[in-house]
Structure 1
């Protein structure tokens, strides 16, 4: 029997303690489900809340009412696109409605549904049998630091192929749109990156010559920054 995951549940990127081998955990911004490894189980996701197990992009008409399915066959969980909008897997792999289902590896996988205006709606999936728990230690960030780092590191959180830091000038412009009541000079963005990098270097987490790319990769690797943080960039 499926177990409901409430809205606001911790990101699956932090791991799922005591996840049974073969179990499936699926989570969006509005909640999700956990199901066991029973064969032929199908978990439906899409924007029409009454018709699906996990609601994704509820108010985005570009997302289909029944956008996709997570199903288990021959001991493996797969994702299939049954809607109009493309699904994006890590490394920028696109899954269209005419494509064969994609096999999900054990552990954590973020899926993104392309919506209106270029927005991407996140569906987190965790398959039991991969790493069972989250990282031993997440790094502490203030709310302001997290916002700046997400703006600079959004390409990493989107799991794009070969991501690079967003240029500081672009990040500052985005932050000015999101928080127009605050000053966002490029120097402020640079100061936050330098402050966090200095702190992690002092803790022995980063080498002294680590640049912005290395900093952002470490914050994503340690799940200090997780894909649901991308919601901070939504007006």
Structure 2
């Protein structure tokens, strides 16, 4: 295991509060890393490396020590170019915020300032949490903003036909089904034809309407809505990403299901 310099370094006990609540004041770009087995905080220095994984004697932060699905050395955190980076060295991917999976063969990913939860998948559906926190210019947690106005989500503008198409396409998400998927073009067109018999709905018309919405939202900054971003095979990924963005932004909400009547 690579040693870390003693200056600004501190071991975190198993009783340490979640890093989601913030960290004590520290030099800018200090990293805190914590699991249920404890953790460590170290100051920034070019080339510094912290190792996390199952083998407690050989890592700086022990993660999933009783779970053989977790690699003995599952990943590293390295300070280079004035930033901290995370790299996966284990057999299984680690999950980053936004559902991003980081595999062993991939390039390291930079960590943003503030709190980052990292999940290491284990046996029998278990997921082991590694909490990371990189301090910013203020050297600690963000300032409390109790009285600030709540920032509203971005609501995407939809006309009546677009909203109806999307509610039909994404109804399983609004119904909170387990692992929902969008309807197929044919399924959506058949249901739309029942709702609006004289509107001339066909699978191609549904596809063109949804593609236009995806294109508009992609230009508006929403990731994961183009084939170039997702890669082949695309499958349902584009429409899945679309519906999830619309639901998370509250552009589509469960009461919209009233548009479907009793069908």
Superposition TM-score tier, normalisation by shorter sequence: 0.5 to 0.7
**Residue matched to 2:141:** 133
Query: Which aligned pairs between 1:1-235 and structure 2 lie closer than 5 A?
Result: 1=6, 2-129=9-136, 132-133=140-141, 136=144
Q: Could you say which structure has the greater relative contact order, defined with CA pairs below 8 angstroms and 6 or more residues apart?
A: 1
For the Cα contact (< 8 Å) 1:5–1:32, is it kept in 2?
yes
CA distance in 2 between counterparts of 1:76 and 1:12 reads 19
Count of residues paired in the alignment:
146
CA distance in 1, matches of 2:134, 2:45: 13
Is the CA contact 1:88–1:112 (under 8 Å) kept in the aligned structure 2? yes
1:164-206 deviation line (CA, Å, top 9, x unaligned): 8996x99xxxxxxxxxxxxxxxxxxxxxxxxxxxxxxxxxxxx
Q: 1:10 to 1:137 in 2, by over 3 A?
A: farther
User: How far 1:19 sits from its partner (Å)?
Assistant: 2.6
State the secondary structure of the residue aligned to 2:124: helix
SS, match of residue 121 in structure 1: strand
- TM (norm. structure 1) is 0.57
* 1:144 paired residue number: none
Q: What root-mean-square deviation, in Å, do the aligned CA atoms of Structure 1 and Structure 2 show? A: 2.5
Structure 2: runs of 5 or more not aligned: 1-5, 147-172, 179-247, 250-263
